Amino acid sequence: MTAVLPMTTRLLLIRHGEAAGNAELRFLGTTDAPLTARGRAQALALAEACRALPLAAIYTSPLQRARAVADLLAAPPDRLAIVVPDLREQDYGAWENHTRAEVQTDDPAALAAWERDVGSAPPGGESLVAVAARVVPAVAALAARHAGQTVALVAHVGPIKALICAVLGLPPEGARRMWLDPAGISLIEWDSASGRGVLRLFNATTPR
């Protein structure tokens, strides 16, 4: 890995491994689902692949499926993964832990509005626009704290896509044209002086 420029922070964006409900494509959101056995194996492979990286810090969503991955990244050498609440997944409100087909049956009008407009939110939940509004400033602050360093952020589909859209100058709608696999790794370089970034790697996965 090449050297990080003095005012640039290298952000390793890591999606958690497979969690209970992912295989059925459920809207997990803020549901605190654990990793599956497969997800644990993915997390172990990911941690091993990242072992040689010079991580200055590891930040994680508070949800256990992300924290489990972050803890594996942190040890050894006995570092602590720091919880950042703003890295949590999009809140799906009434749709939490349901599949799209179930929501289509129960609330087709709300689903159609949500899929048409990124400013629309599930009942009692959070829109993509709202996710970007909380995630991007929080990560910009972390990047400024770690200028010239490499840090890992263990999070979820929504926050990671929001950051990639911000780096690429895409509107939030761009998130719906991306796919992120469980335990996928993306890499961006964030320039705190300009507030701009570069996407260096997208959705890389370890063999499994």
pTM of the model: 0.93
Residue 29 contacts residue 91 (beta carbons within 8 Å): yes
Catalytic position from the list 89, 96, 126, 189: 89
Catalytic position from the list 16, 98, 146, 156: 16
CA–CA separation, 49 and 11 (whole Å): 16
Q: In the annotation, is 16 catalytic?
A: yes
Q: What is the mean pLDDT of each run of 10 residues along the chain (208 residues)?
A: 74 97 96 97 94 94 98 85 98 97 96 95 96 96 95 98 95 94 96 88 84
Domain ranges for the chain: 8-204
Q: Which amino acid is at 110?
A: A
Q: In the annotation, is 96 catalytic?
A: no
The pLDDT, as a whole number, for residue 195 is 79
DSSP string, 13-29: EEE---BTTTTTT---T
- What is the homologous superfamily of the domain 8-204 according to CATH? Phosphoglycerate mutase-like (3.40.50.1240)
The pLDDT, as a whole number, for residue 118 is 94
